[in-house]
Amino acid sequence: MKVKIILNGKPDEASERTTLSDLLAEKKIEVKKIACELNGTIVRRADYLKTQIKDGDQIEILQMIGGG
């Protein structure tokens, strides 16, 4: 079964019982270069494995950009 989510402002789907870590792997996003916000709250990288994605969640993936 799929759950409906909003990913970076766009409707998307994830498998039921998916963790934030699973979602990032599915989308081929390198964890070291991003920060994730779930329903308006930043999720610590250490919590990605245990953070379950639920129906209606809003997820923003923020990519780090270096410069100088």
- With cut-offs at 50, 70 and 90, classify the pLDDT of residue 64: confident
Q: How far apart are CA 24 and CA 35, in angstroms?
A: 11
pTM: 0.89
> To the nearest 5 percent, what fractions of the chain are helix, strand and coil?
25, 40, 35
32-41 residue pLDDT tens: 889 999 999 9
Tell me what the mean pLDDT of segment 42-46 comes to.
Answer: 97
List, in order of start, the domains of the chain with CATH numbers. 2-63 (3.10.20.30)
